[in-house]
Amino acid sequence: MLLYLQNNIWTILIALTSGGMLFWSFFGNKIRGIKEVDHIAAMQFINHKNALMLDVREQSEYAAGHVLNSKLIPLGKLKERLGELEKYRERPIVVICRSGDRSASACAFLGKQGFTQAYNLDGGIIAWQKASLPLEK
């Protein structure tokens, strides 16, 4: 057994690393305390709970197509523009980016600032488009 491990250490390490990465991709946001919603739940929040759609992409990405009535605050400017979100503190905020990574970071930040109803849109704008939901330019 020891000889097998010695002869195959790199294969074993690669397998363990890729398994860890796969685990993190599925459970990382839950471990970090980030709540995720799919496009259906996001629409329910918008229609029934007057949720804010917060887009944390860059201006050029936003201009190419964004969710109707969404508010743009690029992730890099979120800390300095946090005051603009104060009036939404008690409402759900659905955070969106291209794929869900930047918006997850934004949700983690908002949670630390006391925004208890910040939700990451799972799959981001890509998932929104795949569901044939409307975008405006």
Q: Which of 52, 73, 85, 97 is catalytic?
A: 97
Q: Which two tokens stand for residue 33?
A: 């305390």
Active site (annotated) includes residue 107? no
Q: Mind telling me the catalytic residues?
A: 97
